[in-house]
Amino acid sequence: MKPATPLSAVFATTALSLLGAALVATAPAVHAQDGCATVEVHNVRPQQGQLMVAAFATADTYRKKAVAQLRLPAGEGATQRFQLCGLAGSTEVALTLFQDLDGDGRMGANIVGMPTEPWGSSGSPGTFGPSWETGRVKLDGSVIVVRMSS
């Protein structure tokens, strides 16, 4: 079987820090000139741990240096909407997410690097994990939709 891409490399660096991006439930999509975008996450495990969000602005910095990071408690529903700020100056972005179920600030992974906690990406990450190419989306005021893994 083809393996899962080791997503732990994406998430296992450090605990994501809260950057002051506002959590605004049901906020409208906001244009990137404002430095913020609305993110809608599906398939969230309700009320379990926190969503950890990282935004990358270029292929070179993808999975290496985030332009924005955010963590917020998983809400009561399977769909969660929030505003992610700190994106000023970017024309496109790729988001990577995981749901920190055990609260250790790191994405759980097994001994071969497969994620053991739900993960997600903007764009169309496919079955086995995201890349810059599959994850990038334009910051044009549209809502960025992410589906967490099944």
Partner 1 sequence: MSTRRGLIQAALAAATAPSLLLGREARAAASAADFAAAAAKQPLLTPLLGVDDTTGDRDAEAQLLGRWPAALRGRFYRNGPALLQRGGQRYHHWFDGDGMVQQFRIGDGRVVHRGRLVRTAKLRQEQAAGRFVVNALGTSFPGQPPAGGPDSFNTANTSALEHAGRVLAMWEGGSAYGLSPEDLSTQGPLTWRPELAQVPFSAHPKLDAQGHLWNIGSVGRQIVTWHVGPDGRLVRVQLTASPFPGGMAHDMAVTARHLVLPLPPLKLDFTAPTEGGRRRFAMSPGEPLRVLVMQKDDVAKQRVFELPPQMLFHIGNAHETADGEIVLSYVGAPDARFMDEGAVALMAGRPHDDGPSEVCLARLDMATGRARVERLPGSDGGVEFPRIHPQRVGEAARHLVFGAAWGAPRGLSVFHGVQLLDTHTGRTRRFDYGRDAIAEEHVFVPKPGGRGELDAWLLGTVFDARRQATVLNLLDAARVEDGPVAQAVLPYVLPLGFHGNFTGA
* Residues listed for the chain: 150
- Residue 91: CB partners within 8 Å, gap ≥ 6? 32, 138, 139
According to the binding rule CB under 8 A, does residue 28 interact with partner 1? no
* Residues forming beta bridges with residue 81, ordered by sequence position: 40
Q: Select from 8-16, 51-59, 64-72, 114-122 the region that touches partner 1 (CB under 8 A).
A: 114-122
Dist CA 59 CA 133 (whole Å): 8
Question: Smallest distance, Å, CB 18 to partner 1?
Answer: 25
According to the binding rule CB under 8 A, does residue 106 interact with partner 1? no
139 burial class (0-12, 13-18, 19+ CB within 10 angstroms)? Answer: buried
According to the binding rule CB under 8 A, does residue 129 interact with partner 1? yes
According to the binding rule CB under 8 A, does residue 122 interact with partner 1? no
Among 12, 29, 72, 114, contact with partner 1 (rule: CB under 8 A): 114
Alpha-carbon dihedral angle through residues 79, 56, 142, 8, given to the nearest 10 degrees: -30
Question: Smallest distance, Å, CB 122 to partner 1?
Answer: 12
- ∠ CA 39-22-131 to the nearest 5 degrees? 35
According to the binding rule CB under 8 A, does residue 116 interact with partner 1? yes
The footprint of partner 1 on residues 45-104 (CB under 8 A) is none
Q: Interface with partner 1 by CB under 8 A: which residues?
A: 1-4, 42-43, 110-112, 114-116, 118-121, 125-129, 147-150
